[in-house]
């Protein structure tokens, strides 16, 4: 094991590594392999790294910066060849990626983990344990997120110290829903797209109403959706009353998601009964 840890190296991923990387990911999960391949084709491989032993690719990890946030990232596809698990190589790869982020003054990183079970075994239990060993902490659990019986856990890790008492001023912008879509890699989980308008007009409403939400809920039902997940910045004080009025449940928050003191609030609605 020691020899392998010493002989392997972490380097930037090249597009020419894609086939090897997709094979590793697909061996764990075919759907993830397809999703990763599409993402690499659309967005490239910048910010991704491979663990190699000579010319052999043994693992993949990386990160994607979150748009409209201050130095916040999501951990990207992190997989190790099944033949090399349990040898400390996954930790070596992840440690390298986190060190790279710290050196570029990244503030916080999040990772999403499924609790999918196969033959009575949690497929991602080892990955979850590894993340926790690096200091990642559970922040939000979306019940039945991917499918009925398959939830999503989001963990966060501070890469630089955050201010404990920093607060962000409340805002009351004009929020309008402008669409809905099924969330990628889920079966029947939907979310609403929304925008902030410059002005509500003299007699205009300041925020969305229960009626607006009911219209969206009805549309999701018509498309066969089973659950709705919504997220909003924590300083939007007008969102809570209409969400509560139609049965949305507060799930939790991703702390300091947008910037220090500005969190991402998560809500869910079960279309077969409030959940």
Encode pLDDT of 219-272 as tens digits. 999 999 999 999 999 999 999 999 999 999 999 999 999 999 999 999 999 997
- Cα 268 to Cα 275: distance, rounded to the nearest angstrom: 7
> What pLDDT does residue 165 have?
73
Q: Hey, is 238 helix, strand or coil? A: coil
The pLDDT of residue 275 is above 50? no
The pLDDT of residue 108 is above 90? yes
- The residues near 146 (Cβ < 8 Å, ≥ 6 apart) are 114, 116, 152, 185, 186, 187, 189
Encode pLDDT of 40-64 as tens digits. 999 999 999 999 999 999 999 999 9
Fold match between domain 2-158 and domain 174-270:
yes
- The residues near 134 (Cβ < 8 Å, ≥ 6 apart) are 91, 94, 95, 98, 157
* CATH class of the 174-270 domain in this structure: alpha beta
Note the Cα 181 to chain centre separation in Å.
Answer: 17
| pLDDT band at residue 204 using 50, 70 and 90 as cut-offs | low
b (16+ CB within 10 A) / e for 41-71: eeeebebbbbbbeeeebbbbbbbeebeebeb
Q: Hey, is 172 helix, strand or coil? A: coil
160 secondary structure, DSSP code: S
Q: Hey, is 173 helix, strand or coil? A: coil
* Mean predicted confidence (pLDDT) in 123-129: 92
End-to-end CA distance of the chain: 46
- The residues near 262 (Cβ < 8 Å, ≥ 6 apart) are 168, 233, 234, 235, 256
Q: Hey, is 74 helix, strand or coil? A: strand
* Mean predicted confidence (pLDDT) in 155-175: 88
- Per domain, the residue ranges of the chain are 2-158, 174-270
* CATH class of the 2-158 domain in this structure: alpha beta
């Amino acid at each position: 094991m020691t020899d392998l840890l010493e002989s392997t190296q972490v380097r930037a991923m090249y597009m020419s590594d894609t086939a090897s990387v997709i094979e590793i990911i697909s061996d764990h999960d075919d759907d993830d392999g397809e999703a990763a391949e599409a993402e690499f084709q659309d967005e490239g491989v910048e910010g991704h790294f491979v663990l190699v032993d000579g010319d052999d690719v043994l693992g993949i990890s990386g990160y994607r910066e979150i748009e409209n946030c201050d130095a916040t990232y999501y951990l990207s596809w992190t997989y190790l060849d099944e033949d090399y698990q349990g040898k400390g190589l996954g930790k070596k790869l992840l440690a390298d990626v986190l060190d790279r982020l710290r050196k570029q003054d990244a503030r916080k990183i999040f990772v999403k983990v499924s609790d999918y079970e196969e033959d009575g075994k949690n497929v991602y239990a080892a990955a979850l344990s590894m993340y926790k060993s690096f200091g990642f902490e559970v922040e939000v659990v979306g019940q039945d997120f991917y499918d009925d019986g398959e939830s999503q856990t989001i963990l966060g890790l501070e890469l630089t110290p955050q201010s404990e008492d920093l607060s962000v001023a409340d805002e009351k912008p004009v929020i309008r829903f402008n669409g809905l879509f099924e969330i990628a890699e889920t079966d029947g989980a939907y979310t609403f797209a929304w925008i902030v308008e410059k002005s509500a007009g003299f007699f205009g409403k300041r925020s969305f109403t229960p009626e607006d939400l009911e219209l969206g809920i009805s549309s999701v039902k018509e498309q066969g959706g089973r659950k709705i997940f919504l997220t909003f910045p924590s300083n939007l004080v007008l969102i809570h009353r209409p969400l509560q009025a139609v049965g949305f449940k507060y799930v939790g928050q991703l702390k300091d998601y947008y910037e220090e003191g500005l969190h991402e609030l998560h809500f869910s609605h079960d279309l077969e009964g409030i959940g």
